[in-house]
Chain A
C-alpha cells in the first residue's frame, strides 16, 4: 500500500509547516556556517604555508611565538600556521585527522606517540628528505623515540627524565645535611628512615606507580625490558625482580613511602609541597611550581643501583605527516627548532634540557641551578622500549605492579603475569 506524505500527515499539517521549516533551515544554515571556512584565500599561490599543530604550555608558547616571528623574517617564502592544542586532546585529534586524511603538515607529539604513527605509515621518512649534519648533534637519548626500525621519523624538540627532588627543610629537621642527598639506594633507605615520622604524617618518599615512573628503579638495576632481538619482554628476569622488589619494600618493609601511589593517597607532588614527603621523583617541569610555592628544595641524581644511576626518558618530538606537500620546507623548520641557537634559548629561558648537545656549553647554570643535574642525569638515561603500542604496556604493567604493592601478589608473580601478557598481547610472541 503506497501512501504519499500528504496522505500520511494530512494536507493541513504540511502546508502550515512548510514555510516555518524552510525558514528554520535557512536560519540554521546561515547562522551556523559563520566562523570561517577551511582554506584561506590565496593559500594556493604565493608563499608556502605549513600547518603546525603544537601543544606548548604558556611559557613555551610565548617563546615559540617569538621564534616564529624570527623564522618568518628569515624565511619570507614560508608561512607557519600554528594551532595550539591541549596536550591531552592532541592524540585523539591527530588520530581522527589521520583517519580522514586531514592531518597538518607538522605536529608536536609526545615521544611515545611517534612509533604508533610510524607503524601506521602516517609519517614522512626524514632520512629520504635529508636531515643533514644536525643529526650528529642531537642527543642520542632524545633521538631514540624518533627512530623506528632504523628510520628517522621525527626530530626531538624537548626531552626530560626524572631526578630526585628533596625537601631541604625536612632534611635539616631530621638532622641530615641538606646539601648531601642520597647517592645510593642504601643511603636512600637510611635517610628515608630518618625522615619518616608517621605520627606527624611525614614520610621519606612519595612515589607513583605507572611503568614510566618505575623505569628509574628498573634502569638502576640494569633490568632489560626487551630481549636483545626485541621480540620478547624479559622484565621478569632477576634484575627486574630485584628492582621492583626494592620499590615494593620501600612501602611494605621499610615503610618510608607514604602511599602516594594509592587511590585516595596524597599524590607525590602535592605531598612534597605540603611537607608530607621529603623526597620524590620529578623533572624540570616542576621547578617553577616549587619555587613559586616557596619550597626549599634540592635536586639530585636518581640513587645508584648495581647498574649505576639512570632514569627514564620523556619529551616531545616534531613529526612531518606524509600528506605534507612541502616536506623540504617542513624539515627546514624542524632543523631550526632543534638547532643549537634555538635549543640554547629554549633551555636558558625555560630551564629545560636541550636536545642539541652543542647547546650544553651555553647553558646558564646561574639562572637555572638545577639544570646541570638534569643534563647530567640524561647522560645515563635509558629510553622507553620502542613499541608502537606503548600505552598497552602501561595498561598491562600497572595493575600487576599495583597488586605487588598491595601485597596480593609476589613481585615475581606480578612481573611473570605482566610479561606473559605483554609477550602474548603486545609483541605477539609465542608462549
Chain B
C-alpha cells in the first residue's frame, strides 16, 4: 500500500469521524487538530487513559489474586498448604485426583448441577409466568397482592428456614433433591425483576399478535419470552449462583453423604481446628467452573438484563 493510498484511507476515516457530529466545528475534532496543538491535548488524554488502565489493572489484580492463590494452593503438596510462597515447589495434580477419587467430589458436583440447574430453570419459569400476569394482565387486588409479595422480601431469609424445614420434613421429602429445590422456587425478587422488565414491552405489540390470532401461550412464548431474554438469563444466572453456593439449607435437608452438594463437600475439609487446605482449594477451583462457563456465555445478556430493567419506558 502506497503513501497516497494511506493518505486516502486516513482522509476517508477523517471524513467519517468529522461527518458524525453535525454542526460541530471540524477544527475541534481530534484528527483535524494541528500537530502543535494536538500533542498537549493527546498527552493529557493519554495520561487519563493510562491512569484508567493502571486503575483497572490494579482492580483486576485485587479481584484475581484470590483465584490465583486458590489455584496455586490446589497445586501444592499438603505440607506446603500454609506456605506463603506464591508458587508451589513441586506442583501436583494429586489434590484434584484425591477429591475426585477419595472424597466423592464427582457425586457432590453432579448433585449441585442437578439442584442448581433445576432450581434455576423452574424458579425462572415461575417468575416469568407470574411477572407476565403482574405486568400485562388485569385482575382483582393485583397491586395489593404485588405489594404483599414485595413485603415478604423484607423478612430475612433465615426466618423461613425452620418453617420450610418443618414442611419439607412433614412431606417426607428429606434426603431428596426436591427438598433442596422446592422451597426456593417462589422467587419474589425474580418476579419483581421480570415484572419491571416486562412492563417495558409495548402492549400494542401483544395486542397486534392477538389480532393476528395468537393464543396467550403463543404471545408469551413467541413475543414476551424472546423480548425478555436478557432478564431471563440474568435471573437464571443469579438463581443458579445462589443454589450453587447454598450451604446451610442443603446441609440441613440431607442426612446422606451421597446427596451432599459442593458447598457441603467443601465444608467437610475442615474440622474444629484444622483444615485440609490443598484439597479444599482443589474442590473450590473445580466448583467455580460451571459459574464461569455460564457467565461467559450469558454475560452480554446479563449486563443488558441488569441495566435495562432499571430504566422503564
Contacts and interface: CB of A to CB of B under 8 A. Distances in A.
B272 A289 contact: no
Interface stretch (B1-9, B169-177, B197-205, B237-245): B169-177
B175 A89 contact: no
B215 A12 contact: yes
Contact of A32 (B84, B118, B140, B247): B118
B177 A13 contact: no
A119 interface: no
A38 B273 contact: no
Interface of B: 78-84, 118, 122, 125, 133, 137-140, 161-162, 165-166, 169, 172-178, 181-182, 215-218, 247-248, 251-252, 255-257, 259, 264, 267-268, 270-274, 276
10 contacts: A3-B139, A16-B217, A17-B217, A28-B182, A32-B176, A36-B176, A51-B255, A93-B252, A285-B273, A293-B80
Interface stretch (A80-88, A334-342, A410-418): A80-88
Contact of B256 (A36, A100, A110): A36
Contacts of A96: 161-162, 165, 252
Contacts of B133: 9
Given A17-B216, A32-B181, 11 more contacts: A3-B140, A32-B176, A33-B178, A56-B271, A86-B251, A86-B267, A87-B267, A87-B272, A97-B252, A110-B272, A269-B82
B83 A274 contact: yes
A8 interface: yes
Interface string A257-273: 00000000010011001
Contact of B274 (A12, A28, A51, A286): A286
Interface string A83-110: 1111111001100110110100000001
Interface string A156-181: 00000000000000000000000000
B264 A86 contact: yes
A316 B272 CA distance: 9
B81 A93 contact: no
A294 interface: yes
Contacts of B257: 83-84
B97 to A, nearest CB: 16
A84 B268 contact: yes
Interface in A171-204: none
Given A9-B137, A57-B271, A292-B78, A89 B247 contact: yes
Interface residues of A, number: 56
Contacts of A36: 175-176, 256
Which of B138, B181, B264, B268 has the largest count of A CB atoms less than 10 A from its CB? B268
A283 B273 contact: yes
A314 interface: yes
Interface string A36-73: 11100000000000010101111000000000000000
Contact of A35 (B78, B83, B162, B177): B177
A83 B254 CA distance: 9
Contact of B82 (A84, A92, A273): A273
A34 interface: yes
B270 A13 contact: no
B267 A100 contact: no
Most chain A beta carbons < 10 A, residue from B125, B217, B272 = B272
A150 interface: no
Interface string A269-291: 11001100000000101100100
Nearest to A92: B248
Contact of A89 (B169, B177, B264): B264
Contact of B79 (A8, A92, A285, A293): A293
Contact of A12 (B139, B216, B248): B216
Given A34-B177, A37-B175, A85-B251, A100 B264 contact: no
Nearest to B133: A9
A268 to B, nearest CB: 11
Nearest to A12: B215
A87 B177 CA distance: 23
A357 to B, nearest CB: 23
Contacts of A34: 176-177
Contacts of B169: 38, 100, 102
B216 A9 contact: yes
Given A3-B139, A3-B140, A89 B248 contact: yes
A16 B214 CA distance: 11
Contacts of B122: 28
A8 B272 contact: no
Contacts of A269: 82
